[in-house]
Homo-oligomer: A and B are copies of this chain.
Amino acid sequence: MKKDGALPYRIATLASHTALQILKGAKDEGFETIAICQKKSRRVYESFKVADEIIEVENYQQYFDIEPQLIEQNAILIPHGSFVSYLGWKRVQDVKAMHYGTKQILEWESDRTKERQWLLDAGLRLPAVYKSPQEIDRAVIIKFHGAKGGRGYFIANSPEEFNQRIKEYPEEKEYAIQEYIVGVPMYAHYFYSQLTGELEIMSFDKRYESNADSIGRIAAKDQLEVGIKTSYTITGNIPVVIRESLLPELFVMGQNVVDASKKLCGSGLFGPFCLEMIIDKDLNFWGFEISARIVAGTNLYIKGSPYTDLKYDVPMSTGRRIALDIKEAILADNLSKVLG
């Protein structure tokens, strides 16, 4: 590592999702940065001055075409939601460039059944899943997997109600029955350093979903007239701090998820991750999903969150925390510890 001047590694990522904070954080920690950019996105990453170099691609599937450039430039690739979504967890395994975090864990994140097993192993409280309508003993939500693109659903409180309501959907053959949890969504952003062995709580957010987060602005009477149905398209994120007395339990849950991951694959989960939960009126946490990489809700905290402001003397975004992890690994001559 050169003492004066930039670090001899570069940080690269696909120019979407959380790339702005990843690249900004990398620059703040002394790295040169590369944005892998679609033509239409170029202006964004130039305007915000986060990329020392822009590699233009037609689409993100082209990643493997430009990978040799990354390898040649000693670039460390930071995966995020769009990266995993565009390539798919299987093709991510073929990445040859240096990759921050454990690639294999993405399979566990991507497969609903495996993800549920992981979270149950970690001792999280999950909504019950019903195998048959006859078992319905409380409010449940019935979600269709069929032609309607997963958007169709209805609610039932008993086998009788189920049998009545299902008649309205004669074309739907496949469905899942899940316990219906009422409470507020909460997304907890964690960082676990493989290098230091420390788990950190970085921040929290709630999503801003269309139309779920606006139909409440329509009076019930008007909703009924227009026949409003809920959809859950993510359009952005809103900051939130959590009730301080819930933090001890959050540390326990995060730690259990990390510990359980070590039994799933190689070095398990490390770096940033997110538990997506519902908190009910009795302050129970209900786990819904885990993201085993940086999530978009952290985009709120480019200059640090109320939580990182406690712990760090500099503005510490999750993107910067990743770069710091890499830098400390390089300085400790132990870079492989944070690659996977």
Within the complex, the shortest CB–CB distance from A10 to chain B, in Å, comes to: 19
In the complex, the chain B residue whose C-beta lies closest to that of A199 is: B47
Interface size band for A: 35 or more
Whether a CB of chain B sits under 8 angstroms from the CB of A215 is yes
Contacts of A304 in B (CB 8 A): 303
Within the complex, the shortest CB–CB distance from A291 to chain B, in Å, comes to: 15
In the complex, the chain B residue whose C-beta lies closest to that of A38 is: B248
Contacts of A248 in B (CB 8 A): 40-41, 43-44
Contacts of A215 in B (CB 8 A): 182, 216-217, 219
In the complex, the chain B residue whose C-beta lies closest to that of A16 is: B245
In the complex, the chain B residue whose C-beta lies closest to that of A201 is: B47
Contacts of A280 in B (CB 8 A): 210-211
In the complex, the chain B residue whose C-beta lies closest to that of A42 is: B248
Within the complex, the shortest CB–CB distance from A166 to chain B, in Å, comes to: 14
Assembly stoichiometry (copies): 3
Contacts of A17 in B (CB 8 A): 244-245
In the docked arrangement, what's the CA distance between A310 and B33, Å? 14
In the docked arrangement, what's the CA distance between A43 and B248, Å? 7
Contacts of A18 in B (CB 8 A): 244
Whether a CB of chain B sits under 8 angstroms from the CB of A192 is no
Given contacts A49-B310, A184-B211, A303-B309, could you give 12 more A-B pairs where the C-beta distance is less than 8 Å? Answer: A20-B244, A43-B248, A47-B200, A155-B226, A157-B225, A182-B211, A182-B215, A221-B223, A234-B243, A235-B243, A236-B243, A302-B306
